Amino acid sequence: MYLTYLRRELSGRTKQTAIVAAGLAIAIALVIIVNALTAGVRDAQTQALESVYGVGTDLTVAGAQQEPGEDGGSRFDFGEDGGATAEDGTTTLAQSQLRTDRGRTTLDAATVGTISALDGVSSATGALSLTNSTFSGELPEMPADGGTNAAGEAGSAPADDAPQGGGGFGGGSFDVDSFTVLGIDPAVQTVGPLSSVSVTDGRALDADDAGQNVAVLDATYATSNDLAVGGTVDVGGTAMEIVGLVSSSSSSTDTASNVYIPLDVAQSLAGVGDVVSTVYVQATTADGIAAVQSEIESAVPDATVSSQSDLASTVSGSLSSATSLITNLGTWLSILVLAVAVVLAVLFTMSGVSRRTREFGTLKAIGWSNGRVIRQVAGESMVQGLIGGAIGLAIGLGGILAINIIAPTISAAPAATEAGAGGGPGGGRFASTVQTATDITLSAPLTPWVLVAAVGLAVSAGLVAGAFGGWRAARLSPAEALRSVA
């Protein structure tokens, strides 16, 4: 009889049932979609960070931030014998430089050992982040009537015997090319920038490569520059044998650097001594990350220690906007709609109880207990909630499906590839600014708990409405109820 009465009441009040169910359905659908999108954005953020920092890296330790222009920027100096002059008088200039990244100081390599020895640190490895800049070009023979310093803005130092003043510039052609180089410890595979890559051709660096002029290239960089395994790539004026190509485990992002070489070789080629740019740290447990971060900050006070969550906040681009939009607008919108839906359900249920005063008064008069009346009201509300939940689930799943079919792409620019500070064109200097923005496909993954939570929310909303309605029905005195409608 309980179910018959319940079914008849709900079908007899289709308008109210539809409004309450629709309100809850919209709220539940929003909750599902916003949660899925949040998970999708989180995945995208992790993807963007992993491509730079590697899987399993909990903390990164970098040198202190430098003031813009503090390191002076790139400068190409050509002496008297800086170029080869052909018979027609054309001088060919070529110079390759390997410099540490601007904007941050380096850390002594011993820092890696210091950090490894700390409690809660599972493993640590250092990497030296470099930028290889190549200047190459041709200068035609200086006109007989003299000319300006041919290198001009390109930065060639004037020769002592060069003609000064008067005349015109004879023309020239210059290429400036730069790519990123990461010196890594080839013996450490589990943490660091190469822990998340997959080898697409050849092999990865291994412990035997220490001290060897070998390199592994990012597959995308290799393709765009016609480089392949077995060939060579010029790094800091030294030909490095290409032994492998790697790509990010995510098909939509590039790896952290264009070229990977052994750390000791990188230090030697850059002439920077025994230093590293970044130390990648893996904590023993996820719970201990904060403690390890604090320990490292004490042990290496001049360094900047960042956790993955700190790094996540540095991801810029439309991914950042999407995160902000979903976290702020999406979440609040879900909460607001859910609250409105619950309030709507409560108000409709209470107004329904008021409208049914005679009915409940009669039922109490014929012997129905308060508990039985409350169960009836709560049951009706809960079924309304379940109907709303089922419809909301369907709409939510449809929304998720639509997002996954449309697969919108968003850009992400991790802050690890900082813009070069200082320098800039002028005075023969070149800033090697590298800002890697990657497009990431946004997906909306469906997790079982979201479905459970959606059904739970629907039932809870129904129960809240039922509790209010039932409370009101229970308070009805049968005598007063019948007197008020007599």
Binding site for other proteins (CB under 8 A): 1, 4-5, 8-9, 11-12, 358-359, 361-370, 372, 477-479, 482-483, 485-486
Which residue, 20, 24, 32, is CA-closest to 396?
32
Q: Which is nearer to other proteins, 321 or 369 (CB)?
A: 369
Question: DSSP states of 370-431 as a string?
Answer: HHHHHHHHHHHHHHHHHHHHHHHHHHHHHHHHHHHHH--EEEEB-TTSPPPPS--SBTTEE-
Q: Which is nearer to other proteins, 164 or 477 (CB)?
A: 477
Q: Where in 224-344 does DSSP place strands (E)?
A: 232-235, 238-248, 259-262, 275-276, 278-283, 304-307
Is there a contact between 40 and 325 (Cβ–Cβ < 8 Å)?
no
Q: Which is nearer to other proteins, 11 or 251 (CB)?
A: 11
Question: DSSP states of 185-199 as a string?
Answer: -TT--SSSTTTTEEE
**Least distance (Å) from other proteins to the CB of residue 458?**
24
**Least distance (Å) from other proteins to the CB of residue 286?**
55
Q: Which is nearer to other proteins, 169 or 368 (CB)?
A: 368
Q: Which is nearer to other proteins, 351 or 369 (CB)?
A: 369
Q: Which is nearer to other proteins, 86 or 358 (CB)?
A: 358
Q: Which is nearer to other proteins, 12 or 301 (CB)?
A: 12
91 SS3 class = strand
Q: Which residues pair with 94 in a beta bridge?
A: 136
Q: Which is nearer to other proteins, 9 or 50 (CB)?
A: 9
Q: Which is nearer to other proteins, 422 or 478 (CB)?
A: 478
Q: Which is nearer to other proteins, 314 or 370 (CB)?
A: 370
Which residue, 246, 408, 218, is CA-closest to 326?
408
CA 343 from chain centre, in angstroms, equals 37
**Least distance (Å) from other proteins to the CB of residue 400?**
38
**Least distance (Å) from other proteins to the CB of residue 479?**
4
CA distance 408 to 420: 30
Which residue, 351, 345, 372, is CA-closest to 478?
372
Task: Indicate the residue type of 269.
Answer: L
CA distance 442 to 46: 12
Q: Which is nearer to other proteins, 339 or 365 (CB)?
A: 365
**Least distance (Å) from other proteins to the CB of residue 288?**
58
Q: What angle do CA 145, 148, 154 make, to 5 degrees?
A: 145
Q: What angle do CA 148, 153, 156 make, to 5 degrees?
A: 75
**Least distance (Å) from other proteins to the CB of residue 372?**
7
Q: How many CB atoms within 10 Å of residue 156?
A: 26
**Least distance (Å) from other proteins to the CB of residue 342?**
26
Q: Which residues pair with 218 in a beta bridge?
A: 246
Which residue, 401, 355, 400, is CA-closest to 377?
355
Q: Are strands 214-218 and 259-262 parallel, antiparallel or unpaired?
A: antiparallel
**Least distance (Å) from other proteins to the CB of residue 486?**
7
Q: Which is nearer to other proteins, 234 or 359 (CB)?
A: 359
CA distance 314 to 308: 10
CA distance 27 to 159: 76
**Least distance (Å) from other proteins to the CB of residue 321?**
52
Which residue, 449, 453, 464, 452, is CA-closest to 382?
464
Which residue, 337, 440, 446, 354, is CA-closest to 38?
446
* The pair of three-digit structure tokens given for residue 347, joined into one six-digit string: 């108000």
* The pair of three-digit structure tokens given for residue 273, joined into one six-digit string: 């001594």
